[in-house]
Structure 1
């Protein structure tokens, strides 16, 4: 205890004197020039930190960065002796703030992943739930260890196999396979971000089947927070990948009520946002499918709920809520309900130029639809919008610039409102002096 205190005191004295800690050159990665945490040696004989050399090789280079020698093999051999020297040096200099360097785990190989996926396919064919759960846990463990492992698992087609497993066990029984199904879904959840544009076609087909969709909706109704969140994210990924999945989801019993309840009784921001996105895609279906859905959501009271969500939510959630509101204003029931709500004009006008370009587009579009719906003797929407300062905002919007469709709607709104300006005192909802575009 005394010696430990003396060593720490001595290190502090050195630092006060301006003595800097010098890292031995052999401990530095030739690429990043940082202390190596997982040194590996290439066929050229040069040692690099694994993360740095993998990034180099993945970039399409097949030469040794230090010698420019073409590599005979891309194998990366762990340099255990150097790693232990670096760890010992770190322990000896911990008083200088050097963090402990843990022993790195050996990264998973494509061969290992393929073997597990083949075993998983066999267990799915025989509906061996226990063996399947064990293999799914192994995949989850690999994914939790490193970004490299996650990329390797995804690159070897894991999501297709997992989606097929989900469909098979969902078809067998939701209730008896609930734990396994949740684990499979949890694994797929961390794989979604690796697909920049859309899910693998086969994985889409499996996860978008009627059995899988019914299971996902059942999770939203009957399972805990984690399962609900994973299910909602999966539904959002499906709906955004292909409109046909949104149309298939619309045929699932009670799906509209479940989505509405998740917004009315919020559990977490992620679920709320994903629910709004799924509703947006449901309402964007062809009229033959979406007309009835719009009427149903309006009767539930979604329009009023959307206004409440828009007021207090962060940017992306507010945008989506406004997008759903705008689509609901396409149907007659939606226009009637929106026109009767006292919050409609104040909230929509407030969001113009306040959130984003997309939010402005949805707000202007919704007000334009409501103004076109008004009868000649009934101009409540136009008057209310003028009273909360929309005229100034629309003029400013045109000055700042906006999309062609929004520009046309804003111009038409100004013309429709102009006759009513004389008898009204337009209230400025914001000081426009020196206002810059907020998006």
Structure 2
């Protein structure tokens, strides 16, 4: 096995490719001509381009070289007079012919590459979008946005070119303008614009200002409750990305009248796991900084809903649900709801060391919060925690290791639980002997 690996590695360096003949013989080696190989990667070029130095490279390799801050030709070390990459159609055609000639050996013909979009082309499209938006030309704007969508799908390079030339700002302005005119009338173009904006984050300051305007936020909330699945998914994703970057947008969203009901419905009637995670993140940003809206979520039954989700949910949803619950239980009203729910303590203890480090930290924080703030003298929460095995779980957590804050809360919880151990503990520590720390 070792000699075979070394043989293959040596063959690659020599430009050889071991392929299978039509008769099934696997030992035939095909030599890739040197001028078909990229001087950087030494692989067969798929999109050969020539620099001002006269040397031809594969486009992906030379772009990676330049993006790393290099301003010289890798082969000649010559300072480049221009960073233009001229497609070498002659070499590309020769490579394709060679691939066709050797296709009986399993070589696939490289497809003819599309010419990457240029900054000038992007600027021209954006100018036309601005004009179409100003005149209220929805159909014209949709065609232009569709062109950007096609460019973005062609390559990662196109996406970078689209983003760095201010597309996010122009599309955000268009979204705000059409939303101001009428969200219902212009729903289709608004959905298409928002779908493209979701892969352009983070936007610049102006883009955030347009997309975070009260009108734009109202439109996204309307999308989230309209019943159109693709619009609901797009809106929750855009809201999550927008709120993660600017507290002002969090405050503005909290002022929208029915935002709490909309987000609760998205959790209660999930569209897909991704949208559920996005909705939980939006709720997390809201409750993390706004006590008033935190109370509204509690009144709408969010605590019970989150606990039901936590009984059986995948890792990503579990982490986010615990994070939201941790914030909710930071207020008296949230803790009271948690105290009265039969699943609270069993679920939190179960999640310790079962899902992920993050889930463990949130679970410990929640237990600590509930135990420290309990007003009942008989220690009901502590007794219940003991009965479902919290003491052993917390001891094990200290043994396997955790963050400093979690360690402090764990130690304090153990001291509180120890007071009731003699009378109420009923879980044998051996039940956890094979428990492993989550990866």
TM-score, normalising length: structure 1: 0.91
Q: Distance in 2 between the 1:134 and 1:429 partners?
A: 66
Q: Distance in 2 between the 1:294 and 1:73 partners?
A: 56
User: Secondary structure at the residue paired with 1:396?
Assistant: helix
Q: Name 1:6's counterpart in structure 2.
A: none
**Map 1:110-149 → 2, pairs under 5 A:** 110-149=119-158
Deviations 1:63-122 (A, max 9, x none): 111111122221111111111111122122223222231111110111111111122122
Q: Distance in 1 between the 2:255 and 2:76 partners?
A: 62
Q: Distance in 1 between the 2:189 and 2:79 partners?
A: 47
Q: Distance in 2 between the 1:360 and 1:412 partners?
A: 16
Q: Name 1:315's counterpart in structure 2.
A: 315
Residue among 269, 275, 279 paired with 2:279: 275
Q: Distance in 2 between the 1:25 and 1:355 partners?
A: 52
Residue among 156, 178, 196 paired with 1:187: 196
Q: Contact between 2:389 and 2:425, CA under 8 Å: does it hold in 1?
A: no
**Map 1:257-406 → 2, pairs under 5 A:** 257-285=261-289, 290-406=290-406
Q: Contact between 1:388 and 1:429, CA under 8 Å: does it hold in 2?
A: no
The answer to whether 1:167 aligns with 2:205 is no
Deviations 1:1-34 (A, max 9, x none): xxxxxxxxx9322x51611222222211111111
Q: Distance in 1 between the 2:233 and 2:326 partners?
A: 26
Q: Name 1:157's counterpart in structure 2.
A: 166
**Structure 2 gaps, min length 5:** 1-19
**Map 1:414-429 → 2, pairs under 5 A:** 414-428=414-428
Q: Distance in 1 between the 2:27 and 2:404 partners?
A: 63
The answer to whether 1:106 aligns with 2:115 is yes
Q: Distance in 2 between the 1:44 and 1:364 partners?
A: 62
- Cα distance change on mapping 1:278 and 1:339 into 2, 3 Å: same
Q: Distance in 2 between the 1:429 and 1:205 partners?
A: 56
- Cα distance change on mapping 1:93 and 1:214 into 2, 3 Å: same
Q: Which range moved further: 57-66 or 425-434?
A: 425-434
Q: Distance in 1 between the 2:406 and 2:78 partners?
A: 58
Q: Shift in Å at residue 376 of structure 1?
A: 4.1
Q: Which range moved further: 201-210 or 119-128?
A: 119-128
**Structure 1 gaps, min length 5:** 1-9
Root mean square deviation, CA, Å: 1.8
User: Secondary structure at the residue paired with 1:234?
Assistant: helix
Residue among 19, 22, 41 paired with 1:12: 22
Q: What is the total number of aligned residue pairs between the two structures?
A: 420
TM-score, normalising length: structure 2: 0.91
Q: Shift in Å at residue 400 of structure 1?
A: 3.4
Q: Contact between 2:38 and 2:44, CA under 8 Å: does it hold in 1?
A: yes
